[in-house]
Amino acid sequence: MSSPPDSYIPPEDAGFELAESIQERGNFGYTVAGMLGRPRAGRGPLGMAAFLALPLFFCSLMASTLALEKADKFQFKGPKCHPVCTIWHPPATSTEVKIWLWALVPSVVLVLVGWIATRLPLGFYVSCVAAIVVAMGVAHKTATWEKHHIARFPTGIDLIPDKGYAFSNQFNRGEWEKSALSTALSFEHWTIGIALAGILVMGGLWLRARRHARRPGIVGMPHEGIHAPDATQPGL
């Protein structure tokens, strides 16, 4: 029979060394495991974050479109153009993919915050406050991005000049950008409004529960106790 290798540790010694290692590292591991273990606030924070992520996504989509979308410009020299001829083409596919990916980032961040909030005592309020902060951060520069988008589309979003093409022109220059800005701000307000409504509802339910818990009980007549019949015979 071959002898065990030098690195072999008996099971009882291995358990003892593992216990010593945990004691040396302190209780930090237990604290982290408790925070990331079973949810303390239920699934409410995650559900609220996922619900708020929907209007936040449309707000972010409008904002990222205003910030990133640009028409492809093709220029060449020609006898009828001075100094060069310029032709505008629709945005490239890579630009559209970039817009959608950036639009998904705020919603993904909010859902991640909601998942972390399920491990916190006041997680529902954390999800609502995070939605408000993210929505305000997404839409705070949309007015500036609107002007940049107008500059990148000098013939309008439909790439058709305003004059001379009255029958085929769909959007005048700056018309679509104004609508996109209004849509982004509208979804921002919806996200913030729903989050504030959730905070007010949960706060009202908490106050109601506290009031009922502090209400004194009704004092009434004492109830007659139920007991076995007395077996002691009366004295003569």
User: pLDDT-based confidence at 30, cuts 50/70/90?
Assistant: very low
Give yes or no for residue 153 having a pLDDT over 70: yes
Domain that holds residue 89: 39-210
Give yes or no for residue 201 having a pLDDT over 90: yes
Q: Which two tokens stand for residue 195?
A: 């989050």
In a domain, 8, yes or no: no
pLDDT tens column, 208-228: 887 877 766 554 555 555 555
Backbone angles phi, psi at 72, to 5 degrees: -75, 130
Cβ-contact 191, 52 below 8 angstroms:
yes
CA 188, CA 57: separation in Å to the nearest integer?
10
DSSP, collapsed to helix, strand or coil, labels residue 235 as coil
pLDDT score of 108: 97
Looking at the chain, the whole-number percentage of residues with pLDDT higher than 70 is 66
Give yes or no for residue 137 having a pLDDT over 90: yes
In a domain, 234, yes or no: no
CA 4, CA 71: separation in Å to the nearest integer?
72
In a domain, 150, yes or no: yes
Average pLDDT over residues 198-207: 90
Q: Indicate the average pLDDT of the chain.
A: 79
Structural domains counted in the chain? 1
pLDDT score of 77: 73
In a domain, 231, yes or no: no
pLDDT score of 36: 45
In a domain, 101, yes or no: yes
Give yes or no for residue 83 having a pLDDT over 80: no
In a domain, 23, yes or no: no
pLDDT score of 157: 86
In a domain, 190, yes or no: yes
In a domain, 224, yes or no: no
Instruction: Using alpha carbons, select from 59, 42, 234, 33 the residue that is nearest to residue 127.
Output: 42
What one-letter code names the amino acid at 126? V
